[in-house]
Amino acid sequence: MKRAFTLPIAVLLAFLVQGQVSVDRPVVLTAAADSARRITGLVQAQQGDALITAGEAQVAAFCWATTSGTTNTLLMTTEPPVDAYRNGLLIRWSPHRINSGAVRANVNGLGSRRIYRADGLPLEQGALDPGSVAEIVYWDTAFFLTKRTRTNCPGGYVQLTSDVCIQRNDSTVTDAFTATIQCRQGGARLCSWAEYVAACNVLGTQLNGRFDDWEWIDDTSDHTHTGNQVGRFTCRSQRAIGMTTTTSNYGAVRCCYRIP
């Protein structure tokens, strides 16, 4: 049976001022007054198995990270250092600059990991805003924001419904695969047929470039290797076109964004 180990407070403090103390018995503080039975002056935990104070727990200091790096590649440093990526790892920080698109994070040199919105899409431009507080949780192979990145449409988009926005301008004329990647890199996606038709009719001239060229939508037809394009002559214009990457099959890109 283990016996309680009683350590005079003066001896204990003498050890504390010199460095780390490790004992294999319970430590019993025996001062008569409650106010005297305490240990003060503990510094912030420096390693993963160290004790934390009530004050650190209240502000979750061990979850806070300082950041540096480029616009879309964050270098994060935590104290105590994170020694491995584990499911449930929580990190908070104040962005040091605004992002221009998808973002990756490298925590304590453990390797770069993608940061996604809560709905699994990449971060759109402006999702990380200096002066605010961001929070991410690690799961499987990536980080996910724990809150909505915005409650309105990103710049360059027009609101169609309470949660769907569509780009005001169509952009690069390209193949279907590049169009899909282009939208996704901005945290958006190609519009569905229903979204395009509704936006074309309801928003009208708020959409620039209508009827200038065929535009890609997120749709296919019952033909081999064909995708659908819309909007060449009217809101309901539609054609099936080969998905091969030849200029004769190119279409303009107009993305849709869902407010998470």
Q: Could you write out the DSSP letters of every residue in 231-247?
A: -SSSTT-EEEEE-S--G
Instruction: Identify the CATH assignment for 157-258 out of 3.10.100.10, 3.30.360.10, 3.40.50.300, 3.40.50.720.
Output: 3.10.100.10
Cα–Cα dist 109/130, whole Å: 23
pLDDT in tens, 62-115: 789 999 998 899 999 998 888 999 999 999 999 988 888 889 999 999 999 999
> Are 250 and 173 in contact, with CB atoms under 8 Å apart?
yes
Cα–Cα dist 143/90, whole Å: 9
Torsions phi, psi for 181 (to 5 deg)? -65, -40
Cα–Cα dist 176/180, whole Å: 6
Q: Given CA atoms 206, 210, 216, 222 in this order, what sign does their dihedral have?
A: positive
Model confidence at 140: pLDDT above 80 = yes
193-215: average pLDDT: 96
Q: Residue 71: what residue type? A: T
For residue 113, the number of C-alpha atoms closer than 13 Å in the C-beta half-sphere is 24
Average pLDDT of the chain, as a whole number: 84
Nearest to 103, CA basis, from 94, 114, 89, 90: 114
Ranges of CATH 3.10.100.10 domains, the chain:
157-258
Does residue 88 come out as left (phi exceeding 0), alpha (psi in the -120 to 50 range) or beta? left
Cα–Cα dist 218/220, whole Å: 7
Cα–Cα dist 61/16, whole Å: 22
User: What letter would DSSP give residue 35?
Assistant: G
Burial 186-211 (b: 16+ CB within 10 A, else e): bbbbbbeeebbbbbbeeeeeebeebe
Question: Which range is least confidently modeled, 44-58, 71-85, 122-136, 218-232?
Answer: 44-58
Cα–Cα dist 104/71, whole Å: 10
Q: In the chain, what is the straight-line distance between the N-terminal and C-terminal CA atoms, in Å?
A: 57
Per-residue confidence at 147, pLDDT binned at 50, 70, 90?
confident
As given in the structure block, the two tokens for residue 176 are 């279907």
